[in-house]
């Protein structure tokens, strides 16, 4: 299907790929991608956009927006990574089934499988080489791509997504808690009255049964996961105004409960929760790392949490309950293959430009810079001008800077 929007031509593509690329004659799934280009220049070289996540679909274009600068020199392929968007979705099973079967199925949705899909798509489109743009988790996928098929890549651009090459889930979450603590502290410094608001709501949830519109009980620990938004440009202000309107008389308002349900429910994106720790696993089980390494001070009602995933979520959140037993099996799974090849990356010849956000709550800047030093031909731009979402909110500054770095202009 072709669609023309102001300043943009969009073409939809669907590809049939093996569920397990090691078993090409086995079950298949569909992967969807949307090509966007300047209508007057639709034959430009290809750039592949790798979305953040895990479990996030590609952006839906309403116009050139933050792809405008890339589209000056490239046509862009927006990939709905397997299991997301219009690709064959990962949905709650219609019947309980065997949890080991679901867990085995879900092991095929990490970065290594996404890269194999990209190679299948590249061959199907007849593309010799393409450039990549990886946002957040898309940067993780990029490093796997450089490890597995570097000859397919002309240049790689990464925004807020250089992973630790051999960091375990324990390492990652230990660092993440420190950054979340800092964000929460800054949040309460900016909005001094909000700590008491959070404590009041948490106490009310502990003392009363409060139901969300979908029937889930809102617990204080689920309420605390609203801290996840503090790592974005508007996250602190958005949370402040949500709390400002929380009460309607002596009860929590319907509008507040609806917004909390939407923000914490994983509706349409269970992969984010199910695979969040697995994206760090290489040869060992994660064993619910975020829960195991949680510092004692995070038990305080006003200490919000970030993007950590906990076992209790698969009991308390409607969209995740069908995945509970499979998630337990994935947390115990120790057969995860390596995602990165440090030897190959140390000899990398593909130009890589990476924006590293100094105050990033989700991806540790120190680990990112360590990786930049271990991947040959990589240049890092460290900035505190943006939060983790710099590509989304300031593409007019971030994109040209990375392009200039690749071209050697800065």
The DSSP-derived string for 141-186 is HHHHHHHH-GGGEEEEEEES----SS--HHHHHHHHHHHHHHHHHH
Closest among 354, 345, 369 to 148, alpha carbons compared: 345
What would the two tokens of residue 331 be?
């947390």
Catalytic residue among 58, 87, 136, 319: 136
Note if 319 is an active site residue: no
The sheet that has 130-135: what strands, in order across it? 2-5, 8-18, 28-37, 75-80, 46-50, 130-135, 153-159, 352-357, 378-383
d(CA 173, CA 139): 18
Note if 74 is an active site residue: no
The DSSP-derived string for 116-131 is HHHHHHHHHHT-S-EE
H-state helical runs in 164-253: 169-190, 194-207, 220-224, 235-244
Note if 13 is an active site residue: no
Residues 6+ apart with CB under 8 A from 25: 18
Closest among 399, 394, 385 to 357, alpha carbons compared: 385
| Alpha carbon distances (Å) from 220 to 112, 129, 206, 266, 355 | 36, 50, 6, 17, 35
d(CA 125, CA 151): 16
Q: What are phi and psi of 128, to 5 degrees?
A: -70, -55
- Collapsing DSSP states into helix, strand and coil, what is residue 70? helix
Residues 38, 7: contact at Cβ < 8 Å?
yes
Catalytic residue among 360, 364, 368, 389: 360
- Spell 108-118 as b/e; 16+ CB within 10 A means b: bbbbbbbbbbb
Task: Identify the sign of the CA torsion 21, 22, 24, 27.
Answer: negative
Residues 6+ apart with CB under 8 A from 327: 103, 273, 274, 311, 314, 320
Closest among 360, 382, 381, 366 to 182, alpha carbons compared: 360
Residues 37, 71: contact at Cβ < 8 Å?
yes
**Catalytic sites, residue numbers:** 136, 360, 388
């Amino acid at each position: 299907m072709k669609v023309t929007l102001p300043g943009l031509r969009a073409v939809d593509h669907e590809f049939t790929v093996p569920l397990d690329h090691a078993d090409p004659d086995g079950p298949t799934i569909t992967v969807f991608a949307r090509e966007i280009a300047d209508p007057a220049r639709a034959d430009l070289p290809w750039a592949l956009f790798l979305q953040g996540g895990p479990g996030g679909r590609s952006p839906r274009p309403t116009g050139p927006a933050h792809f405008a600068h890339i589209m000056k020199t490239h046509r862009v392929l927006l990939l709905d990574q397997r299991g997301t968007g219009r690709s064959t979705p990962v949905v709650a099973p219609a019947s309980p089934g065997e949890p080991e079967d679901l867990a085995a199925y879900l092991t095929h949705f990490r970065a290594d499988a996404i890269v194999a899909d990209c190679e299948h798509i590249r061959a199907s489109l007849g593309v010799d080489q393409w450039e990549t743009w990886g946002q957040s988790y898309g940067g993780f996928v990029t490093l796997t791509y450089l490890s597995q098929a570097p000859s397919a890549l002309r240049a790689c651009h990464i925004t807020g997504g250089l992973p630790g090459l051999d960091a375990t889930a324990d390492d990652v979450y230990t660092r993440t808690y420190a950054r979340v603590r800092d964000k929460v502290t800054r949040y309460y410094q900016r909005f001094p009255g909000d700590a008491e608001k959070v404590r009041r709501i948490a106490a009310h949830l502990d003392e009363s049964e409060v139901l969300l519109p979908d029937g889930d009980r809102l617990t204080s620990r689920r309420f605390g996961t609203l801290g996840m938004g503090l790592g974005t440009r508007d996250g602190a202000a958005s949370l402040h105004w949500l709390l400002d309107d929380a009460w309607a008389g002596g009860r929590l308002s319907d509008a507040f409960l609806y917004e909390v349900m939407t923000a914490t429910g994983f509706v349409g994106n269970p992969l984010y929760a199910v695979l969040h720790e697995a994206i760090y696993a290489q040869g060992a089980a994660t064993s619910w790392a975020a829960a195991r390494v949680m510092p004692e001070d995070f038990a305080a009602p006003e200490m919000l949490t970030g993007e950590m995933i906990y076992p209790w979520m698969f009991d308390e959140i409607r969209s995740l309950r069908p995945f509970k037993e499979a998630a337990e099996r994935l947390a115990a799974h120790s057969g995860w293959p390596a995602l990165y090849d440090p030897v190959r990356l140390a000899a990398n010849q593909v130009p890589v430009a990476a924006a590293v956000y100094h105050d990033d709550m989700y991806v540790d800047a120190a680990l990112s810079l360590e990786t930049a030093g271990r991947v040959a031909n990589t240049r890092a731009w460290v900035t505190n001008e943006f939060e983790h979402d710099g590509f989304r909110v300031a593409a007019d500054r971030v994109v040209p800077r990375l392009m200039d770095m690749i071209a050697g202009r800065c």
